[in-house]
Structure 1
Amino acid sequence: MDIRWITAFLDFEPAAHERATAFWSAVTGYAVSEPRGEHAEFATLIPPNGDAYLRVQRQEEGPSRIHLDLHVDDVRRHADRAISLGATELVACDYVTLRSPGGLEFCFVTHPGESAPPMTQWDGGLASAASQLCIDVPASRWDAERDFWGGVLGVPIEYAGGSYAQTPPSADRPMHLVLQRLDDDPPTVGAHLDFETNARDDEAARHQELGATVLDTGPEWTVLRDPAGLPYCICGPDCR
């Protein structure tokens, strides 16, 4: 894979931006950078050690969502390859914003990180990290979207059991990518984050104290919603 780094961008609706940014800073243990951008709409969540891989954005309008940034050496070359695979180009400047065939926005950017942060250590021996971005694919789009992301990333998307397929994990990057085939058929492809932890129940309780709402609990996953309405999951140490 010649994708050098992956950043998850949490794009918040305006009314929820301040509250949601504070929430994600608290649940990750990462400081919030000074805002940047023409309207001070961007910020980075800065880990105590290692390089950043989570960022936040205040949207001008629309519901909260997630998009991903793929860090590469040659933005234009990778964008052209994605377009040949079915992506639609939306913005082109020093970065390129595209939309996958199923509707998920993503960007090719430069400036990769080099050092993956360790898991954040909490009181009582609890440890956690937002370590996985799951691309949620409607059932009718599964084959096309899986093939598209395999081509964009330059790696095979391998069956991982159940309704999941994944890219090969890398110890050099803190964010792993996985695709999930949904049982239902929403109009577009979406994405959510997964937290990895050594004590799922304790980690879920910590998130609830900070403002998350539990939506569902299963044998391997706890599904929550953040203050901006974004769903995300907490899983055990073997979730990737």
Structure 2
Amino acid sequence: MFWLTAFLDVPPPHFEPAVDFWSAVSGWTPSARRGDDEEFLTLTPAEGDPHLKMQRVGDGAPRLHLDVHVPDPRAEADRAIGLGAVEVADQRADQGYVVLRSPGGLTFCLVNHPAGTAAPAASWPGGSRSAIDQVCLDIPRETFEDEAGFWQSLLGWPRSGASLPEFDRLVRPDDQALRILMQRTGDDGPVRAHLDLACSQRDREILRHVGLGAHVVSEHSFWTVLEDPAGMHYCLTDRPPA
């Protein structure tokens, strides 16, 4: 595994507002559209390799899936299946990727696009800085150990505790752009995922995001939950955006 990309899957009514929002939040430029229906785009930083992409999907709620970049998607898919993943029937290995679901039901893709240079944190008026640098996996308590063990084995990253007991994390290698945090939730149903941003001044970032169209959902000691224009939740955190 040599890279992780977060993919935001957004239904048509909210897709264009979501593109505008995440481009403004990140400071990254939307690429030319691609795909049979021009349903894909990449948010491209001025420096470094991209790690946030977007897809217009046909239906359902907006959601996040992961792309795991590997040299050989087919071989890695077979290994993932041995670890407990399920391959989706309409996989596209002939086009360089395979679609699977984790044991807990989170969709992810194995792709062969090379990347390896993290983008620097963005600087904003007023002196604040931020970085889209983490995906949090929201895992029901009953399935937490199986799901956490799957991602640890698939990515090959060491597992560690976090500052709060409901969280564990996978220790990100220095050359990676995205961290993986894992949260024990009281929910039933499949595993979900959301984005976390590291902020040097969370209060300033909250105001900036709300001005761009986000809504504050809840405040916590070290993070704030917001909702983007498509209805997806994400968090602003006090982690330093190094």
TM-score of the aligned structures, taking structure 2 as reference length: 0.95
**Judging changes above 3 Å, is the alpha-carbon distance between structure 1 residues 239 and 178 closer, same or farther for their aligned structure 2 residues?**
farther
Candidates 147, 166, 171, aligned match of 2:169: 166
**Which residue of structure 1 aligns with residue 224 of structure 2?**
222
Candidates 208, 217, 221, aligned match of 1:206: 208
Q: Displacement, 1:166?
A: 1.0
Q: Distance in 1 between matches of 2:215 and 2:46?
A: 27
Q: Displacement, 1:56?
A: 0.4
CA contact (8 A) 2:66 2:107 kept: yes
CA contact (8 A) 2:131 2:241 kept: no
**Which residue of structure 2 aligns with residue 55 of structure 1?**
53
CA contact (8 A) 1:97 1:108 kept: yes
Alignment of 1:1-240 (within 5 A): 3-90=1-88, 91-93=91-93, 94-161=96-163, 162-182=165-185, 184-238=186-240
Secondary structure at the aligned position of 1:165 is classed as strand
Deviations 1:102-141 (A, max 9, x none): 1100011011212111001111111101100011101111
Paired residues, number: 237
Structure 2 stretches lacking a partner, 5+ long: none
* Moved segments of 4+, more than 4 Å: none
**Judging changes above 3 Å, is the alpha-carbon distance between structure 1 residues 105 and 176 closer, same or farther for their aligned structure 2 residues?**
same
CA contact (8 A) 1:197 1:237 kept: yes
Q: Displacement, 1:76?
A: 1.6
The CA RMSD over aligned residues, in Å, is 1.3
Q: Displacement, 1:61?
A: 1.2
Secondary structure at the aligned position of 2:126 is classed as helix
Secondary structure at the aligned position of 1:215 is classed as strand
Q: Displacement, 1:189?
A: 0.3
TM-score of the aligned structures, taking structure 1 as reference length: 0.95
Instruction: Name the stretch that deviates more: 68-77 or 187-196.
Output: 68-77
Deviations 1:86-105 (A, max 9, x none): 11101142201100111100
Letter in 1 for 2:174: A
Q: Distance in 2 between matches of 1:47 and 1:155?
A: 25
Q: Distance in 2 between matches of 1:207 and 1:170?
A: 29
Q: Displacement, 1:48?
A: 1.1
Q: Displacement, 1:239?
A: 8.6
Q: Distance in 2 between matches of 1:115 and 1:155?
A: 18
Q: Distance in 2 between matches of 1:197 and 1:159?
A: 22
Q: Distance in 2 between matches of 1:188 and 1:89?
A: 16
Q: Displacement, 1:157?
A: 2.2
Instruction: Name the stretch that deviates more: 160-169 or 52-61.
Output: 160-169
Q: Percent identity?
A: 45
